[in-house]
Structure 1
């Protein structure tokens, strides 16, 4: 994986976009360089502050991915981001962010609170900082709306006073103007709904990626399935060999006396107890297999991300290798054009002609 330096980090943050692949690729790179967590978070904070308002949510999604996926690797990022998030949300709360960004950030904080990523009181403080300017903006919108409603009401009253002398045709014409004025509203509302729909689909808010299991944990879970209920041949053979009368009501007519009935009752109770225990084991096995399936899904997704990162790193190093080869070829060509010093006359042995004297220069 590529070495760490601030320039490389800044480039990755500049290229960061809202796609899941982009966020997870940068996140994996940062987690790999967790020993530089302090520098990473400081650079991330500086870049977030200077980024455009539309990109700030992307920076927060990256922080969320790093925080949640680095928990098993160590507490470095959780601690470093925890030291900066107070300033981050104070900065975000002082901006006029669009509705999509505000909803995304609030949803992110809710996820952190539900998953105990940070202390509940701390998350509430972040929410307070983030939404500190929202109340005022809502009040201003409400005041503007009230003023507009009063103006509209005054116009309606004036219009109703003058409309007594109008015909139905004139009334329809007088109403046509406000209809034209309001036609863009449904289209604007449609656009906002599309943005909200895109926000809901975003995996980093509605469902942050799950932590992949450790290989040892996955191997242990798979080994446990080898001794699951469906692999217990002994109990399955016992169930298969149960007498027909314990499961067939029609055979009860063949009972001849009370002793036979009590014996059958004993067999039924034993069969029922065995089946209940085995069914319980099967239910537990089903849940275990579901859990293993989820673990495999998360592990495969994580390996795919690592593969994508490895392919990107390989391509990067292939390009560097090509540049180095080119330099080597240029260097070889340059060396071939240089004179061979060993073939030059030796100064110490008098191989060179003496320098001319001053008299020789002027005669």
Structure 2
């Protein structure tokens, strides 16, 4: 694993992309060098301010992975990142699109749900973000005011008045029939997707809901907490693989048969490790999709049962009143 330096970290941040593998690999490297957490956080914030809004979101994804996966080894990153999160999120929101802001909000919601930071900290963080948004809004308003004042100080020549148009005679309205009075329902753009989801859930009520109960669903959800993507030990092994495994230029350093044989064994072991891990990740992905479908069907069923219960309760109240 390469040594730590400011320039090396900046280079790795610039090479970072939005894939899970890229984020997790750099996250493990940072956790390995957690004794430099203060420097890491300062360089991270400095580089975050330089990049475009979409890449700011990737940097915050990285910080989220580091914070949540370094808890067991120490509180350094949670504490040090906490000192700059207000500024980082305010920068992340600036010029970000609606989709990117939604992703940032989801990270905040996850931190609140999992208790990553205290309630007071999250409240202050949201206030700082809102304050940054207000400042940006005021800046835009001032810009508009300056533009308006300039237009008023440079009026255009008055154009010749337009001739008054004669009012058009309105055609007599015919009496509408009951069918015409009711407006035609517009078809929403996402109606096909909603319809497809409803069909899927209706089919699952009969096909899948009978095959499990609440307890088994909870067990499957709990099992996902120990899935492949949460296996820090394997991820650390992958991060510690020597550069010779993936860097073809290292082949030029081979000078004898023994070193070539050792490299071949290392590559074979790395391939076995990665193949097994990729297989586990694929199985986890299938399991998550299956559990997600079950959850949607379960929630839909519970919602319907709640609606039926409310109707029965209203009927009972109505009978007693009468």
Q: Larger relative contact order (C-alpha < 8 A, sep ≥ 6)?
A: 1
Question: Max radius of gyration: which structure?
Answer: 1
- TM-score after normalising by structure 1: 0.44
